[in-house]
Amino acid sequence: MAVPCMTKVREVLEVEKLNSQQEKAISSLLKGKDVFLSLRTGINQFKFGLIYSFRGESTEHVQAFREWFSLTGEIRSLISCPALVITATDSKEARKVNKKRLALNNCVDIIDSPDRENIKLFVHKLKNTVPIEVTFGWLLKDLSLKKKDCTRTLIFCSSIKICADVYTAFLMVLDKSVMEYVHMFHSCTSENVKEKIREDMSDENGNIRVLIATSAAGMSVNYRGINNAVHYSPPKDMDSFVQQLGRAGRDGSQSFHLLIYNSRHTRKLELDMKNYIENVDKCRRLQMLESYDSFPNAKVVKHLCCDICLRNCECNDKCCLLYQHPYNLFQSDDDSSDDNSCISNETDLRVMMFLIMKWIQSLNKIFTTLLVSVCYEV
């Protein structure tokens, strides 16, 4: 009985073959059961006429419905039919919330692991006083020297303000001719600029080499040629984190993800995200996947997994050294080498001048505060 049903389904959907997850979902629906389907971004190939995303944004043809999402459960109470819920990434806690909102009963869960084995994970905590231009010294150096040949890098920031701060630091340090390879993308970016950025980033050999962005740049896109993703400040929840780091390595090539943060960035984080950044001894991939009831592939080579596993790698392979993050290599060079290892004489001077300007601005604020205090007392 099941075979004719699937044959008919394939005819209706105009596909030659359905994978096991799709067949299970459709079979459950035909039996009158609700289905919660979470498939990793890029493999979600269901072709039903109209599918809404939980976190959908307005497009040219579809009006955002986010404000009405909480009422979906009430609508379902009036209509007796099975529901198919499709999302890219949902942690255990997020699934509980969404099931309750959608009034999913007798639900069949089909959950795909969000793990991307080709992305090596790194985390580094900074002191609050470390300037942004120092934090990104490794990337400024690479961009200054290689320009169009610089490794394409996507930097995610948790707010528009942080995004603007990072862009400003690049602007103050780099020469104008180099800044043409750096762009910024957030919800307030004009639509024509957004479209130009999307078009450029969809080309593996596009002009943009560094894109500094908020989560707005991680929605319904498929940027090409990104082998280096960075979070400068973690997102609030694990789902956003996993979706954003997955922008790297879309072609299956070995890629890096680096999360950089300081104590100011850790406020209002959800528990699983906080546990991830504070972890110092457990495999980062394992820590991340625990939020999805999933486990890493036991066959993943340690020096390709994360910075913690790299420390425990005993393969004695020279390749171990090849998979260090450029950030770590730059810090090592900076600590052990002479002045010749600087970004370049001109760029290094720009960094120095920028730091002096910020120091002078800080002194001006202090003197202004003291002057106001003295005047008030007088």
Taking the model in full, what pTM does it have?
0.78
- 84 membership: H or E segment, kind and range: strand 84-87
Q: 158 and 97 share a domain?
A: no
My answer on whether 133 and 259 are in the same domain is yes
Would the pLDDT of 348 be above 80? Answer: no
**Together in a domain, 157 and 74:** no
Higher-confidence position of 8 and 206: 206
Starting at the edge strand found earlier in the chain, the sheet holding 84-87 runs: 84-87, 35-38, 108-111
Domain limits for position 36: 2-111
In a domain, 367, yes or no: no
pLDDT over 80 (residue 293):
yes
**How many folded domains does the chain comprise?**
2
Read off the pLDDT band of 358 (50, 70, 90): low
**Is pLDDT above 90 for 235?**
yes
Q: Are residues 340 and 272 in the same domain?
A: yes
Statement to judge: residues 172 and 305 lie in one domain? yes
CATH of the domain at 220: 3.40.50.300
Of residues 283 and 19, more confidently modeled: 283
Q: Is residue 102 part of a domain?
A: yes
Q: Domain for residue 359, yes or no?
A: no
Domain end, chosen from 89, 111, 133, is at 111
Position 82 pLDDT exceeds 70: yes
Predicted pLDDT of residue 46 = 47
* Helix, strand or coil, per DSSP, at residue 265: helix
- Residue 367 contacts by C-beta under 8 Å, 6 or more apart in sequence? none
- The answer to the question of residue 374 being in a domain is no
Q: Which DSSP string do the residues of 322-363 spell out, in sequence order?
A: HTS-HHHHHHHHHHHS-GGGSS-HHHHHHHHHHHHHHHHHHH
Choose the most confident range, by mean pLDDT, from 2-11, 98-107, 368-377: 98-107
- Which of 73, 94, 111 terminates a domain? The answer is 111
161 and 308 belong to one structural domain: yes
CA–CA distance, 45 with 327 (Å, rounded to integer): 36
pLDDT tier, 376 (very low <50, low <70, confident <90, very high otherwise): very low
Q: How far apart are CA 88 and CA 98, in angstroms?
A: 13
State the DSSP H helix or E strand holding residue 110, giving kind and residue range, or none if neither: strand 108-111
Confidence of residue 74 (pLDDT cuts 50, 70, 90): confident
**Looking at the structure, do residues 156 and 134 belong to the same domain, yes or no?**
yes
- Same domain for 137 and 99: no
Where residue 276 falls among pLDDT bands split at 50, 70, 90? very high
Highest mean pLDDT among 75-89, 238-252, 320-334: 238-252
CB 166 within 8 A of CB 132: yes
* Range in 260-269, 280-289, 293-302, 336-345 the model is least confident about: 336-345
Same domain flag for 233 and 302: yes
Q: How far apart are CA 222 and CA 226, in angstroms?
A: 10
Where does the pLDDT of residue 353 fall: very low under 50, low under 70, confident under 90, or very high at 90 and above? low
Asked whether residue 365 is domain-assigned, the answer is no
Shared domain for 148 and 240, answered yes or no, is: yes
Let me know the angle formed at the C-alpha of 361 by 358 and 363, rounded to the nearest 5 degrees: 115
